[in-house]
Amino acid sequence: MATHAPGPADSSSVAAPDRVAALAARFAAVRAHSALLSAPLSAEDAMVQSMEDASPAKWHLAHTTWFFERFVLGRDAGYRPVDPAWDYLFNSYYQSVGPMHARPRRGLISRPDLAQVRDYRAQIDERMRALLRSGDLDSARLDILELGLHHEQQHQELLLTDIKHAFWSNPLAPAYHDVAPDPAGASAPLRWVTRDESICTIGHPAWPGTGAFAYDNESPPHRVLVPAHALASRPVTNAEYRAFIDDGGYRSAALWLSAGWTRVQAEDWRHPLYWDDACDREFTLAGWRDIDLHAPVCHLSYYEADACARWAGARLPTEFEWEQAAAGLAVDGRFSDDGALHPRAAPTGAGLQQMFGDVWEWTSSAYTAYPGYRPLAGALGEYNGKFMDAQWVLRGGSCATPRGHVRATYRNFFPSDARWQFAGLRLAKDSA
C-alpha cells in the first residue's frame, strides 16, 4: 500500500474541533448501519455474486473499509496496513493506486472469510477512532473521510440490491428479513404539475470548501433554459405499468429504442425484474409478496421506463426539469433507515409526491459533465468522471438509500439495461 493517497485537496491546516466531533459521530453511525444491514447474512450469503454487475456483501464490507485505510489512514508515511495483499483484493476501480482483482470474479474470494472481514472492519474502525481522537487532522484528510462516509452509504444500497438479486436467483427464494407488507390503500390520483419556460440554476457548489457535501459530478452550478413542461405528481404505479404490459407493451417494437427492443427479444423480457409471469406477485427482500398495485413500479431498465412513457403518450423528464421541481422540497420519503426496503403507495396531497425515496427515477438525460466540471484531485478523481459514458441519470433516491444521503442535486447513473436497482419512472410532457 502506498503511504500517501492524494485527496480532494492538500492542506496542512488543522481542522476545527466541531467538525472533527461531527464527523466522528457520523463515522460511528454509518459504520454501525453497514453492520446492521449485513447482520442477517450468513457467511455463505455474504460470498454470493449472482451476476457480474453485483458484488458479494462481504466484498462491500471490505471495500468500504479499504477506502478508509487506503485514502485516510494511508496518508501517514509510516502507516502499516492490516494486510498488504488486501489492497489488491478490495480495490474497486482506482487504477492510479494499483491493480485490482477482476470485478466479475469477486465471488471467488473465499478468503479472507466473513469473520476476518468483520475483524478487519473492527481494526480499521479502532485506528480511525484513534486518529480522530488525536486532534492531528487537517481539513484535507477530513474531506476524504467525509467522502468515504458517503461512499459507504452508496455501498449500503448496493449491498441490499445485490443480495436481493442473489436471493431471487436462489431456487429457495430466501427472505432477507421479515417485514409485514404495507396495508392496502389507494394511491394518490395522478395529476399534472405545470411549469412555464424559465432559466434556472442547476447543480451544487463545488465541494470541498463550501460547507455542504456534494459529489464532484454535481458541480459547478450553471444556468439552464428549461422549456415549459408538466411533471406527473407521482411515479408510475404497478397498476399503470401492468396496463402497459396488458396492452402489449413488451410486444410492440414501435415503443422501444432499437437497442432496448433487441434486449427485450434476446432476454425475453415480459415484465419488470422480480415479477412472476402472471404479474401477480413480486420478489422482495421479504420474499415473494402480492404486488401492491398502488405502489410505484420498480426494477425497470431505462429501456422499459422509456417505452412505458411513450406508451402513455408522455416522456421521461430531463434531469433539469426534475431538479428544478425538487429544489426547495423537503428530502422526505421512504429510505432504508425505515426498515421496509420496498416502495409504498404515494400519499395524498397537493403538489409533487415521492420526489425523494421509494424509487429512483430515470431521466432522459445522459450522464455527462456539467460545463466547467472539474474532478477531484488525485486518485479520487476516478470516483465519478471516468464513468461519464453510455449511462443515464437517475434522481431522487430509493427505499434502499440511506436517509440523509441524497439531495435535489444528487446525480445517480446506470447503463440503459440495468434492472436490479430500485428504479422507476415519473412521466413528463411538453406544454405549450
Same domain, 286 and 346: yes
DSSP 321-340: HHHHHHTTS---S--GGGS-
Q: Where are the beta strands (DSSP E) in 203-284?
A: 222-226, 229-232, 281-284
In a domain, 177, yes or no: no
Which DSSP helix (H) or strand (E) runs through 289?
Answer: strand 287-290
Same domain, 211 and 102: no
Reading the block at residue 15, the C-alpha cell is 481542522
Same domain, 323 and 375: yes
pLDDT at 185: 77
Distance from the Cα of residue 343 to its chain's centroid: 15
In a domain, 151, yes or no: yes
In a domain, 178, yes or no: no
In a domain, 209, yes or no: yes
User: Residue 115: phi, psi to the nearest 5?
Assistant: -60, -40
Answer yes or no: are the C-beta atoms of 234 and 343 closer than 8 Å: no
pLDDT at 135: 81
Same domain, 149 and 75: yes
Same domain, 232 and 361: yes
The domain that holds 324 is classified in CATH as: 3.90.1580.10
Same domain, 341 and 196: yes
In a domain, 363, yes or no: yes
| Amino acid in the structure at residue 155 | H
Enclosing domain of residue 126: 17-169
Which DSSP helix (H) or strand (E) runs through 102?
Answer: none
Angle at 197 between CA 191 and CA 200, to 5 degrees: 105
pLDDT at 9: 46
Same domain, 116 and 239: no
Q: What is the pTM of this model?
A: 0.95
Q: How far, in Å, CA of 33 to CA of 285, rounded?
A: 17
Which DSSP helix (H) or strand (E) runs through 200?
Answer: strand 198-202
Q: How far, in Å, CA of 204 to CA of 367, rounded?
A: 16
In a domain, 415, yes or no: yes
In a domain, 3, yes or no: no
pLDDT tens over the chain, length 432 residues: 433 344 454 444 556 889 999 999 999 999 999 999 999 999 999 999 999 999 999 999 999 999 999 999 999 989 999 999 999 999 998 988 899 999 999 999 999 999 999 999 999 999 999 999 998 889 999 999 999 999 999 999 999 999 999 999 999 999 999 999 998 778 889 999 999 999 999 999 999 877 799 999 999 999 999 999 999 999 999 999 999 999 999 999 999 999 999 999 999 999 999 999 999 999 999 999 999 999 999 999 999 999 999 999 999 999 999 999 999 999 999 999 999 999 999 988 889 999 999 999 999 999 999 999 998 888 788 888 899 999 999 999 999 999 999 999 999 999 999 999 999 999 999 986
Tens-place pLDDT, residues 372-395: 999 888 878 888 889 999 999 999
Assess whether the previous peptide bond of 220 is cis (omega < 30° from 0). Answer: yes
Same domain, 146 and 25: yes
Instruction: Give the HSE-up count for residue 110: Cα atoms under 13 Å, Cβ half-sphere.
Output: 1
Q: How far, in Å, CA of 50 to CA of 169, rounded?
A: 7
Same domain, 23 and 107: yes
Which of 85, 75, 74, 41 is closest to 60 using CA atoms?
Answer: 41
Same domain, 241 and 336: yes
Q: How far, in Å, CA of 404 to CA of 181, rounded?
A: 24
DSSP class of residue 274 equals T
Residue 326's contacts (CB-CB under 8 Å, 6 or more residues apart) are 352, 355, 356, 395, 396, 408
Answer yes or no: are the C-beta atoms of 326 and 356 closer than 8 Å: yes
| Amino acid in the structure at residue 283 | F
pLDDT at 12: 41
Overall number of domains in the chain: 2
In a domain, 4, yes or no: no
